[in-house]
Structure 1
Amino acid sequence: MSTKPKSAPPRPAPRLYLATPVVEDPSALVTVLADLLDGSDVAAVLVRLARTDERTMTERAKRLVSPIQRADVACLLDGQFLLDGNVAIVARAGADGAHLTGIEALQEALPTLKPERIAGVGGLITRHDAMLAGESGIDYVLFGEVDADGKRPSIEAIAERLQWWAELFEPPCVGFAATLDEAGVFAAAGADFVLVGDLVWSDPRGPRAALMDARQAIGQNPDGTFGRALAQNV
């Protein structure tokens, strides 16, 4: 795992990483995403597919990958929602990569994903887990997501973990924000990207307004890039 050089320049302002709702019928979301990504400066979209047979999931993924990539945005599939964590669907759907949860899932998926595709990982309970992930050659680490029991660390703990990673390590770090306040805190802590999901899709004003608020909350720099490794793969 590469640590940050002592003379490394400061990281740019973070960018947004958008998680979709769990998708059963992609028809409506295709239209929404095409509009939402136009001018929103979203770095990547994490697609969460409802579990069904693999052929249907692949077709649903393909329908979403195309409009996302046409907007010059990376499209990743959430490995938690794939059947048995099988990331082979990523290549068949033409997605840019996958997000994995936990060290074991990451180790199983890496030979399939790398070097052609992006591999990100969350579910990193301890600093040791995070360092193991970093040593495996991942493209980013995610802190702050909800665990299998529906729990997540405190905002302070997530911010501390982001700050620790940003100060010491080279791969980008992502903070999962459940609220706009959290988005601002994680940006200030040093997150390269801020992942938003339900706070965008549940906003009564619509997702575009919520996404603009999230962008303001993190002080987004529209000239930023989606990390060194991600930019090379998109």
Structure 2
Amino acid sequence: MTGSERGGGRALLIGNSRWHWAQRQDHDLRVDHGPPEPGRIGNDPPVWAAVGPVPESLMAHQDLRIRLEDVPLPKAPPWLGVDRALGAWMAWRCSQEQQLDCSRGLLLVDAGTVLSLTRVTADGCFGGGQLIPGYRLQLQAMAEGTLGLPSTPEVPNNDALQEVFPQQTVAAMQRGVLEAMLASIAAAQQHAQGLLWICGGDAALLKKHWTGATKLLQLEGDLQLQALLSLGAGLSSGRDR
């Protein structure tokens, strides 16, 4: 029995604040993201990985869990988050399959709760990275850490983000955070000099406002879920539960 059959052709990545689902249907991949929904796990659990709290209903299915040691990313240290490893390995694999120029490696930007920058070397090994607060986490920190700054909407105001120097406070906060993220990516990419992959919930936002070179830019929002399904297909039905 293949891992995808055992997982019902489904994958679940439990993130810090949201759950990320994938369903393989023939040659299509359906994905969705939202708050934790343990009821969706059902009687035929998906292949899964976690960096956030794991519900009891999944703890009994360790045979379907993808751990860091299951991800074929050479030189990955034992403390590396499995989500970063999944994304970095899949970005490298996709680059190879698409015959992209990997002579300088790649930099994976995962724009989630945390903005993680993960470097993969030219020989496909983990090459370190950087971690900074993500878009919503930075806005939340400003609102909670000051008396005068307000809470901001969950969804970015695209009209407000068109202004470099907005007059409204919320728009100024949103634009400032966006500029900080873009500057961090640009500085890291200047050092890395290789392919630039962007994934995660805010990937489209970053790509829309990216003003750097686009020749090396690759956008793929769901690399980790693709990696889970791929690795899940190789799980043995005899794994320890």
TM-score normalised per structure 1: 0.29
Greater share of residues in helix: 1
Higher CA-based Rg: 2
